[in-house]
């Protein structure tokens, strides 16, 4: 897996392990053997290490982490490289990440193609650089940059890496040739001054100060994650310990993290994210269906959602019409889009050039006639079936026959929208999460008539615009909202029974959610939730009052509506479940009036308030969602648990270190989850979300681990 050749007096070690040249055991062995051969060959005066195909090694082979460790380990391969008296040059292209960057840092010189990226992304896998990266990077960049790069895992461009001192020279053209020429220019020079192990860490005298700042930063930014904390400790040792002891310390921390549940969950999430791109649906899959080209787009509706979606499309360099019927709304939409893009430039999310190009690709219009030739349209008006049908019928008449028509809906049946057209096979749901320009999940929904080619096109579009697309079958609420509904519902029931909103929020924030359910509701507005519930109640012929206990045979709480009737709409009105009087109305503080509301509510319903434990809060909020997740698998709405987990990681910011709700369930144990669901079903027979899933029952009764079922989905049903 390492091709060895000699070009004049330069030996070339070309790593050849597609697709990303991961440093598997065979590659490490190949590098070690190659170094030995080059050392022995008297004609060889310098050595170049490079990657064949698309990249320099992008890191260790993650799949090997769960297998027994096999020598040679990367550190000993690296030590051989460093101790060579012949200059060794890393010639970098593509993504030089993790163990790949460590190999490069063992080399005496590093040159890179201008388009290359370097970084230490280990932290995203719940681990730290394990082949001396935490000891060698600070010796090159100094402490602040090393702390930042290793704890964030961010990728750095070749030009930036040169500024940091990581890269010696940046080239365009053929990087292997440039590397060979560069190596020749170093022949005869001593490699001793280039051995990083002997270099002092710049800024080392202020290590405590830098480490304290880095620790404070990671505890705030990556709350709950172990790996960034360990990274800080490992990097600090680069100053406090001699090189070899620093490496030993890194090895110990690497082992502890590697065996942690967080690392296993984060590595599961890494592969899950890749798996969701390999989708299947009736009649086709990601292998067989080829996406149609999308060179021009349109978004219908310039509201918050439409504008956010347009920003995603424009930032990816695609032209986009923004359609509104009213000039004022259109101008507002254009203003929102420009402000969002300026914000992205200011935050460094996109470059000034990308921002300018994106702005030039925006085409505001009030005429549908402009859309005749576009390849794909996303309708993003408010959730109203009749309105969406009207728009789809209009688009069907105006757009060319190949245009794909997408609806940004969070709940409406795609089949019922598609009937308004003569091209149901080209109609599909694309559910963006708010704020659309920020949230990474894109839930793509196929109806009974959507063609695999249409699905392939929106799955590809999702990737193009920087989202993580997940494909699901149409049903009420689709995957994400259907599964998430009991989370909020149970939160309200818990405060009705005796918990306080801030207690529930605290438990869920300690669990790892970035914000508790009541703060989230205050942020999005309580009135929205109330309106949705009123609409559902109407379908059962019910007018909601504070006496209503059931809607459609399901338990109902009027608490949200009571708060709305008191003018407590959430943050926007200065009070909701909390009051917002501090920090410019942004800080949620406890409000005694809410306690009085809860007590009055319970007295009226004759409910005795009780103490609710933290464990019950977690179970009541999460277990019905997990139960729904199993029903979603049972019904084939999602094909694999990974689709569900990725939806929660990127749609609801479920903590990655717990893998996602389905992975979390497998860690808790399916029998325990099933037992508790049965327990709550008995206690609350009027909440349908507690009716146990058949699949969960079967897995639990037959003692089949979810991981085993994951490996053979459907087989045990
Ligand atoms: N090990 C094993 N497989 C890997 C891998 C790795 N390090 N990196 C990527 N792959 C696999 C993917 O699973 C995928 O496989 P399938 O085609 O079977 O799904 C395939 O390679 C292609 O990957 P992507 O679809 O992600 O390709 P991309 O072009 O979109 O992205 C990438 C390429 C930026 C390199 C991305 O794959 C990536 O970020 N990989 C992980 C990099 C990483 O974390 N490196 C550090 C590893 S840990 C380490 O190195 C520890 C140490 O200190 C020794």
How does pLDDT run across 367-404, given as a tens digit for each residue? Answer: 999 999 999 999 999 888 999 999 999 999 999 999 99
pLDDT of residue 78: 98
Q: How far is the CA of 49 from the centre of ligand 1 (A)?
A: 19
Q: Whose CA is nearest to atom 28 of ligand 1?
A: 20
Percent of residues, the chain, with pLDDT higher than 90: 88
Q: How far is the CA of 621 from the centre of ligand 1 (A)?
A: 34
- For residue 227, count other CB atoms closer than 10 A to its CB: 25
> For ligand 1, what atom is nearest to the CA of residue 155?
34
Residue-wise burial string across 208-217, b where 16 or more C-beta atoms lie within 10 A, e elsewhere: eebbeebbeb
The two tokens of residue 24 are 């598997």
The two tokens of residue 270 are 């890494």
* Residue reference for tokens 């960034």: 228
> For ligand 1, what atom is nearest to the CA of residue 130?
53
Task: Choose which residue among 25, 54, 59 to substitute to test ligand 1 binding: the one with the highest number of ligand atoms within 8 A of its C-beta.
Answer: 59
> For ligand 1, what atom is nearest to the CA of residue 129?
53
**Cα(19)–Cα(28) distance, integer angstroms:** 16
The two tokens of residue 359 are 């702005």
For the beta sheet containing 46-51, the strands, ordered from the edge strand earlier in sequence to the opposite edge, are 2-7, 10-15, 46-51, 88-92, 109-113, 169-171
Nearest to 628 by CA among 685, 588, 712, 688: 688
**Cα(404)–Cα(289) distance, integer angstroms:** 15
Phi, psi of 253 (to 5 degrees): -65, -40
pLDDT one-digit tens code per residue, 136-157: 999 999 999 999 999 999 999 9
Pairing label, strands 117-119, 95-97: parallel
The two tokens of residue 10 are 């330069």
Contacts of 441 (CB under 8 A, 6+ apart): 433, 467, 468, 470, 480, 646, 647, 650, 651
Instruction: Give the residue numbers annotated as catalytic, written as ranges.
Output: 102, 122
Using CA atoms, how far residue 70 sits from 77, 133, 151, 413, in Å, is 12, 19, 27, 53
Q: Determine the distance from the C-alpha atom of residue 539 to the mean position of all C-alpha atoms in its chain, rounded to a whole number.
A: 37
Element (H, E) at 237: helix 227-240
**Cα(211)–Cα(144) distance, integer angstroms:** 9
Q: Whose CA is nearest to atom 40 of ligand 1?
A: 58
The two tokens of residue 684 are 């609350």
Q: Whose CA is nearest to atom 20 of ligand 1?
A: 19
Using CA atoms, how far residue 180 sits from 49, 183, 267, 296, 330, in Å, is 10, 5, 36, 44, 57
Gyration radius of the chain over CA positions:
28
**Cα(349)–Cα(111) distance, integer angstroms:** 26
Element (H, E) at 305: helix 304-315
Respond yes or no on whether the N-terminal peptide bond of residue 406 is cis (omega within 30° of 0).
no
**Residue ranges of the chain with pLDDT lower than 50?**
713, 715-717
Element (H, E) at 261: helix 261-275
pLDDT one-digit tens code per residue, 263-318: 999 999 999 999 999 999 999 999 999 999 999 999 999 999 999 999 999 999 99
Element (H, E) at 96: strand 95-97
Task: Choose which residue among 20, 94, 116, 118 to substitute to test ligand 1 binding: the one with the highest number of ligand atoms within 8 A of its C-beta.
Answer: 20
* Residue reference for tokens 């390999």: 278
Nearest to 133 by CA among 197, 69, 216, 81: 197
**Cα(672)–Cα(486) distance, integer angstroms:** 19
pLDDT one-digit tens code per residue, 596-608: 999 999 999 999 9
> For ligand 1, what atom is nearest to the CA of residue 128?
53
Phi, psi of 364 (to 5 degrees): -70, 140
Task: Choose which residue among 27, 58, 127, 466 to substitute to test ligand 1 binding: the one with the highest number of ligand atoms within 8 A of its C-beta.
Answer: 58
**Cα(294)–Cα(499) distance, integer angstroms:** 51
Q: Whose CA is nearest to atom 25 of ligand 1?
A: 274
Coil, strand or helix at 129 = coil
Q: Whose CA is nearest to atom 54 of ligand 1?
A: 99
Using CA atoms, how far residue 278 sits from 141, 272, 288, in Å, is 39, 10, 11
The two tokens of residue 519 are 């703060």
Element (H, E) at 180: helix 175-186
Q: How far is the CA of 698 from the centre of ligand 1 (A)?
A: 35
Residues with CB under 6 A from ligand 1: 19-20, 22, 58-63, 74, 95, 97-99, 102, 121-122, 125, 129-131, 133, 271, 274
The two tokens of residue 478 are 């689709």
> For ligand 1, what atom is nearest to the CA of residue 270?
13
Q: How far is the CA of 669 from the centre of ligand 1 (A)?
A: 29
Q: How far is the CA of 632 from the centre of ligand 1 (A)?
A: 29
**Cα(136)–Cα(259) distance, integer angstroms:** 24
Q: How far is the CA of 21 from the centre of ligand 1 (A)?
A: 9
> For ligand 1, what atom is nearest to the CA of residue 275?
19
pLDDT of residue 697: 94
Coil, strand or helix at 297 = strand
Query: HSE (CB half, 13 Å, CA atoms) of 139?
Result: 25
- Domains within the chain, CATH numbers bracketed: 2-259 (3.90.226.10), 280-477 (3.40.50.720), 481-605 (1.10.1040.10), 614-711 (1.10.1040.10)
pLDDT one-digit tens code per residue, 522-548: 998 999 888 888 878 888 888 999 889
Phi, psi of 101 (to 5 degrees): -70, -30
Contacts of 658 (CB under 8 A, 6+ apart): 265, 512, 664, 667
Q: How far is the CA of 612 from the centre of ligand 1 (A)?
A: 44
**Cα(76)–Cα(213) distance, integer angstroms:** 33
pLDDT of residue 716: 47
Task: Choose which residue among 23, 28, 62 to substitute to test ligand 1 binding: the one with the highest number of ligand atoms within 8 A of its C-beta.
Answer: 62
Q: How far is the CA of 62 from the centre of ligand 1 (A)?
A: 8
Give the CA diameter of the chain.
Answer: 93
Inter-residue contact 404 to 376 (CB < 8 Å): yes
The two tokens of residue 460 are 């590809």
Q: Give me the helices (H) in 514-659, please.
A: 517-524, 526-539, 559-565, 592-605, 614-634, 641-651
**Cα(136)–Cα(131) distance, integer angstroms:** 9
Cα dihedral 514/516/517/523 (nearest 10) = -70
Contacts of 234 (CB under 8 A, 6+ apart): 128, 134, 135, 246, 249, 250, 253
pLDDT of residue 712: 60
Query: HSE (CB half, 13 Å, CA atoms) of 286?
Result: 13
Q: Whose CA is nearest to atom 14 of ligand 1?
A: 274
> What's the whole-model pTM score?
0.94
Q: How far is the CA of 100 from the centre of ligand 1 (A)?
A: 11
> For ligand 1, what atom is nearest to the CA of residue 62?
1
Strands (E), 358-487: 362-365, 376-379, 404-407, 427-432, 441-446, 468-473
- For residue 716, count other CB atoms closer than 10 A to its CB: 12
Contacts of 18 (CB under 8 A, 6+ apart): 52, 53, 54
Pairing label, strands 587-589, 579-582: antiparallel
Task: Choose which residue among 1, 17, 18, 19 to substitute to test ligand 1 binding: the one with the highest number of ligand atoms within 8 A of its C-beta.
Answer: 19
């Amino acid at each position: 897996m390492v091709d060895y050749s000699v070009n004049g007096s330069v030996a070339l070690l070309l790593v050849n392990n597609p697709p990303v040249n991961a440093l598997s055991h065979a590659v490490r062995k190949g590098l070690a053997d190659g170094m030995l051969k080059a050392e022995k060959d008297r004609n060889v005066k310098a050595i170049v290490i490079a990657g064949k195909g698309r990249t320099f090694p992008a890191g260790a082979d993650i799949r090997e982490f769960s297998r027994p460790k096999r020598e040679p380990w990367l550190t000993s391969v690296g030590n051989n490289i460093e101790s060579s008296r012949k200059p060794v040059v890393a010639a970098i292209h593509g993504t030089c990440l993790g163990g790949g960057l460590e190999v490069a840092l063992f080399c005496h010189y590093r040159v890179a193609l201008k388009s290359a990226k370097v970084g230490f992304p280990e932290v995203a896998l719940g681990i730290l650089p394990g082949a001396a990266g935490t000891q060698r990077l600070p010796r090159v960049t100094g402490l602040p940059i090393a702390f930042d790069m290793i704890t964030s895992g961010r990728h750095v461009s070749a030009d930036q890496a040169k500024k940091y001192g990581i890269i010696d020279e940046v080239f365009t053209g053929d990087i292997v040739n440039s590397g060979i020429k560069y190596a020749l220019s170093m022949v005869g020079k001593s490699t001793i001054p280039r051995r990083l192990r002997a270099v002092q860490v710049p800024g080392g005298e202020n290590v405590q100060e830098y480490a304290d700042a880095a620790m404070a930063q990671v505890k705030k930014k990556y709350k709950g994650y172990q790996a960034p904390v360990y990274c800080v400790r490992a990097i600090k040792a680069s100053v406090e310990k001699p090189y070899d002891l620093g490496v030993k310390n890194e090895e110990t921390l690497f082992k502890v993290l590697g065996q942690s549940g967080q690392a296993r969950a984060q590595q599961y999430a890494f592969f899950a994210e890749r798996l969701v791109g390999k989708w299947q649906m009736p009649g086709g899959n990601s292998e067989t269906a080829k996406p149609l080209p999308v060179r021009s787009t349109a978004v219908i509706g310039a509201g918050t959602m439409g504008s956010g979606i347009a920003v995603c499309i424009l930032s990816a360099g695609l032209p986009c019409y923004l359609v509104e019927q009213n000039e004022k709304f259109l101008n507002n939409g254009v203003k929102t889009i420009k402000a969002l893009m300026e914000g992205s430039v200011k935050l460094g999310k996109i470059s000034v050039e990308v921002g300018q190009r994106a702005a030039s690709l925006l085409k505001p219009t009030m005429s549908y006639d402009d859309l005749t030739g576009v390849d794909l349209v996303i309708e993003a008006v408010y959730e109203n079936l009749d309105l969406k049908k009207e728009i789809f019928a209009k688009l069907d008449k105006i757009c060319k026959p190949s245009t794909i028509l997408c609806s940004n809906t969070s709940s409406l049946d795609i089949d019922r929208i598609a009937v308004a057209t003569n091209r149901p096979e080209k109609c599909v749901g694309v559910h963006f999460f708010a704020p659309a320009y920020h949230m990474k999940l894109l839930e793509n929904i196929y109806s009974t008539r959507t063609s695999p080619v249409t699905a392939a096109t929106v799955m590809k579009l999702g990737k193009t615009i920087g989202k993580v697309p997940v494909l699901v079958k149409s049903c009420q609420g689709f995957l994400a909202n259907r599964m998430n509904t009991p989370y909020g519902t149970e939160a309200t029931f818990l405060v009705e029974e005796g918990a306080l909103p801030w207690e529930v929020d605290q438990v869920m924030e300690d669990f790892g959610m970035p914000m508790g359910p009541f703060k989230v509701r205050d942020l999005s507005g309580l009135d929205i939730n109330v309106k949705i519930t009123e609409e559902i109640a109407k379908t059962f012929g019910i007018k909601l009052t504070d006496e209503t206990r059931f809607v459609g045979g399901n338990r109902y709480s009027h608490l949200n509506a009571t708060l709305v009737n008191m003018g407590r709409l959430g943050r926007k009105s200065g009070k909701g479940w909390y009051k917002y009087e501090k920090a410019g109305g942004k800080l949620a503080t406890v409000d005694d009036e809410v306690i009085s509301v809860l007590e009055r509510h319970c007295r009226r319903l004759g409910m005795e308030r009780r103490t609710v434990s933290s464990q019950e809060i977690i179970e009541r909020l999460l277990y019905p969602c997990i139960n729904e997740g199993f029903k979603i698998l049972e019904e084939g709405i999602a094909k694999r648990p990974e689709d569900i987990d990725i939806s929660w990681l990127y749609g609801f910011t479920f903590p990655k270190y717990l893998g996602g709700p389905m992975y979390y369930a497998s860690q808790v144990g399916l029998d325990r989850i099933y037992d508790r669901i049965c327990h709550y079903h008995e206690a609350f027979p009027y909440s349908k979300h507690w009716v146990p899933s058949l699949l969960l029952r079967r897995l639990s009764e037959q003692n089949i681990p979810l991981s085993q079922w994951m490996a053979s989905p459907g087989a045990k049903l």
